[in-house]
Structure 1
Amino acid sequence: MKISDPLREEGKKTMDRRTFLKWTGALGLGLAPLVWVVSGRDGERGRGLVSVTRTRPLMGTLVTVIVLHPSGEKATEAMEGAFGEMEHLIPLLDRHAPETPVSRLNRQGFLKGVPPEVHEVMGHAERLFRLTRGVFDISVKPVLDLFEEFFSRRGRIPPPEEIRLVLKRVGAQHVHRGEKEIRFLREGMEISLDGIAKGYIVERAVARLKALGIQHALINAGGDIQALGDKGNGQPWRIALQDPFERSQTLQVIPLRDGAVATSGDYENFFDAEKKYHHIIDPQTGLSPRRWTSVSVLAPSLTLADGLATATFIPRREETQAFIRAIPGAEVLWVDRQKVQKKSEGWRWS
């Protein structure tokens, strides 16, 4: 997931269909995201609630915010607060722009005066690293850069010796996070927060809505979804998971209230035309796992769901089950390359 917004349109507050299609084309996005909200009839929302919806290009995707409230004015005001929160956080966690905190850390090997938001996200990443027994690792950026360089310039995978060499710079256990400073303990290390930042940003935006008095809302950031409450009538939001092989078809529809869902797929961002080498990297081998085509995670928060959607894509399902059991409320749906669906023990839908 790319955090920066090179195509952001200044001053644009709403998005009509023509603008939506223009941004979809510019960002290279399909009209069918990995996960989307199943629309219902207006009467299905709570009586007396006004629904306000806006879509804007953020974080390299399209972000839709839906707010339900008795006052349309209050709903719109809260929605602007949520978008404002996201716009505040994006440049703090972006690794592409040269003067962001993450970019300075990568360039210098240390960062002093760490913004509290960066400190918090790094803490979430550390916990996921421990929970997943090292599978979720934000320090794989040198491997991603190596693959990007070889495929863009030479059209092929890096040789094994190059991968082994760059793996010496990988290992989140070598990132020291103090109260006022973050420092790399190995030379040449770099991090990417792309596997967790979008979830954190959306989660913070939902928290902003809640602080502004909103009880029923949903944010969909390119298929990463966080729900606040239900639809105001006691009924959950209905979330459709995309079939990774038939992109116009639905794999499953799951109910969601006060929770989050995120999906990772090997078809999202890839280096080669055959999609054998993609943006998810096993930190042990330096290669892209090829066991699964898509993984969807249901979790209490989108920060957690976003990180787990990466982590559960890498090991065998039996290994993943061990750490999923240790995370209350987390469930997983895997789809393998033979189109077979496999579920964690508590995944109840089909």
Structure 2
Amino acid sequence: MSERHRLCHTEEVMGTVFSFDIRDPATSAIESALGDAVCWLHRVDAIFSTYRPGSQISRLARGELTVAECDAEVAEVLRLCRGAGHRSGGAFTASPGGRLDPSGMVKGWATERASRMLYAAGSRHHLVNGGGDIQARGGSAPGRPWRCGIADPWRGGEVAAVVSGRDLAVATSGTAERGHHILDPATGAPPTALVSITLVGRHLTEVDALATAAFVKGERARDWVASLPGVEAFALTADGRTWWTPGFAALGGTVNDRAGAAR
């Protein structure tokens, strides 16, 4: 997997930037799968965009369609949302503020599906980055894991921690990029205890949705994430501290020195 065995692509879709970094020798099957994955992301955007009045999710929210009349992906995503809501004790919901909006599930699910399309075509070493949330397969080079930096919102341009590993998913929820866009379903207000929380696991569909729930839970997220099999967390709090779950280092997590850090 040298630099000549590298295929990269970026695509603006779903209101953000997706990037593909493929480290396998190029084949027509992989190149075709990359094109299919990009088309898939645009299809997901057309179905699920809450900013498009004519999208299926917008029409469903207005009662113009039933779930059965929508494409099968709508029922799949809503089922996944219900599962995440159950696992999180209601901290995750597809109806924040009483409005149907499964966006907290869609991006991670779509990114992981794009990765699976590449894998099915023979790509064993790639990273798909959907607006900062990552699904990686294999490694970046022979014997080398992928390395993913977790941005430090208190120090612009710096990283607070690094996650390294093979076949991993990394998702961050917080206020750094989009402000207070996450609502606590129990109160209807934005959570304020954390600035950001990153979850690390194997499947982005899971960790992206659970990262949203963890951000809502705030300080309670530490014990909750520790109880989830195969998932670890790293958090930065509103008062300038950091904390991480006991298995974070075992998943390749390393933390930069910070004042006020707590294990």
Same fold (TM over 0.5): yes
Match of 2:46? 91
Question: Is contact 2:191-2:218 (8 Å) kept?
Answer: no
Which of the residues 252, 262, 268 maps onto 2:177? 268
Which of the residues 106, 117, 122 maps onto 1:213? 122
Residue 286 of structure 1 aligns with an amino acid whose one-letter code is G
Match of 2:258? none
Which of the residues 308, 312, 318 maps onto 2:214? 312
Cα 1:213–1:289 change in 2 (3 A) is same
Cα distance in 1 for partners of 2:156, 2:74 equals: 35
Which of the residues 230, 245, 249 maps onto 1:329? 230
Higher relative contact order (CA 8 A, sep 6+): 1
Aligned 1:8-19 pairs, distance under 5 A? none
Question: Is contact 1:331-1:346 (8 Å) kept?
Answer: yes
Structure 2 gap ranges (5+):
256-263
Aligned 1:21-100 pairs, distance under 5 A? 46=1, 50-71=5-26, 73-100=28-55
SS in 2 for 1:334: strand
Question: Is contact 1:78-1:214 (8 Å) kept?
Answer: no
Cα distance in 2 for partners of 1:340, 1:321 equals: 13
Cα distance in 2 for partners of 1:83, 1:310 equals: 25
Residue 213 of structure 1 aligns with an amino acid whose one-letter code is G
Which of the residues 140, 160, 181 maps onto 1:251? 160
Match of 1:236? 145
Cα distance in 2 for partners of 1:245, 1:125 equals: 31
Question: Is contact 1:231-1:237 (8 Å) kept?
Answer: yes
Residue 288 of structure 1 aligns with an amino acid whose one-letter code is P
Cα distance in 1 for partners of 2:115, 2:140 equals: 15
Deviations 1:278-298 (A, max 9, x none): 111011111111111111111
- The reply to whether residue 194 of structure 1 matches residue 103 of structure 2 is yes
Residue 269 of structure 1 aligns with an amino acid whose one-letter code is R
Question: Is contact 2:30-2:122 (8 Å) kept?
Answer: no
Cα deviation for residue 47 of structure 1 reads 5.3
Cα distance in 2 for partners of 1:93, 1:346 equals: 35
- The reply to whether residue 125 of structure 1 matches residue 81 of structure 2 is yes
Cα deviation for residue 253 of structure 1 reads 1.5
Question: Is contact 2:148-2:164 (8 Å) kept?
Answer: yes
Cα distance in 2 for partners of 1:245, 1:252 equals: 13
Cα distance in 2 for partners of 1:252, 1:316 equals: 19
Structure 1 gap ranges (5+):
1-45, 144-169, 171-189, 271-277
Cα deviation for residue 324 of structure 1 reads 2.2
Deviations 1:158-188 (A, max 9, x none): xxxxxxxxxxxx4xxxxxxxxxxxxxxxxxx
TM-score, normalization by structure 1: 0.67
Match of 1:279? 181
Cα deviation for residue 48 of structure 1 reads 9.2
SS in 1 for 2:109: helix
Question: Is contact 2:111-2:130 (8 Å) kept?
Answer: yes
Question: Is contact 1:195-1:307 (8 Å) kept?
Answer: yes
- The reply to whether residue 339 of structure 1 matches residue 250 of structure 2 is no
- The reply to whether residue 299 of structure 1 matches residue 182 of structure 2 is no
Cα 1:63–1:48 change in 2 (3 A) is closer
Residue 311 of structure 1 aligns with an amino acid whose one-letter code is A
Cα distance in 1 for partners of 2:100, 2:227 equals: 26
Matched residue pairs, number? 250
Cα 1:241–1:77 change in 2 (3 A) is same
Aligned-residue Cα RMSD (Å) equals 1.9
TM-score, normalization by structure 2: 0.88
Match of 1:146? none
Cα deviation for residue 224 of structure 1 reads 0.7
Residue 218 of structure 1 aligns with an amino acid whose one-letter code is L
